[in-house]
Amino acid sequence: MTIHVRLAATLLAGTLLAAGTLAGAQAPGEGAKFYAEYRAAFAKAKAIEDVVPYLSKARVEMVNKTPKEDRAKMFEIMKALDVKDVKVLKESKTDAGYVLEAVGKGGMGPGDAKGTINIVREGGKLKLDKESWKQ
C-alpha cells in the first residue's frame, strides 16, 4: 500500500467513525434544554419565588395558595428531596409541549430515581408543569 492509499483509508475510517458516533448521539431537544435551564436555576435558588418564572400557571397558582409564612419551609423540603445528577433519557413532543423521561440519584431515598417531567408551552414559552419521581 502506498502512503497515499494508507492516508486516504485512515481518513475515511476516521470520518466513518466520527459519523457513527454522531449518529448514535442524540442532541438534547428543546424540552431537555429548557429543563436543564430550570435545574440550574433551581440549584441557585434561595426561595421558591426564584423559580416561579420557570413554572406553569397551574404550578404558580399552587405556590400562591401556599401561605407566605409556609413557603420557605416548603422550598427547604423541595431542596432536601431534590434528585441529583439528572439525565434525560427520552424526550417526546406532545400537543401541549414535551414529556421527558429521566433518571437521577437520591430524592426520597437512596439509589436511582426514575422521573417523568411534563413541560408545557404557555404564551410561546416553555414552563415546568409537573415532575414525578419514583425510587
Q: How far apart are CA 19 and CA 22, in angstroms?
A: 5
For the record, the C-alpha cell of 46 comes out as 434561595
Query: What is the DSSP pairing of strand 112-122 with strand 97-106?
Result: antiparallel
Cell numbers representing residue 12 in the block? 475515511
**Residue given cell 406532545 in the structure block:** 94
- Which three cell numbers mark 64? 400562591
Cell numbers linked to 8? 486516504
For the segment 70-82, the average pLDDT, to the nearest whole number, is 93
Q: What span, in angstroms and rounded, lies between the C-alpha atoms of 33 and 44?
A: 17
Domains of the chain: 28-134 (3.10.450.50)
Distance between CA atoms of 23 and 39, rounded to whole angstroms? Answer: 27
Average pLDDT score over the chain = 83
Q: Where does the pLDDT of residue 38 fall: very low under 50, low under 70, confident under 90, or very high at 90 and above?
A: very high
C-alpha cell at 56: 406553569
Q: Each residue of 4-18: pLDDT tens digit? A: 333 333 333 333 333
| Strand ranges (E), 65-111 | 83-93, 97-106
**If you average pLDDT over residues 58-84, what whole number do you get?**
93
> What are the tens digits of pLDDT across the range 89-118?
999 999 999 999 999 998 776 778 999 999
Name the residue with higher pLDDT: 15 or 84: 84
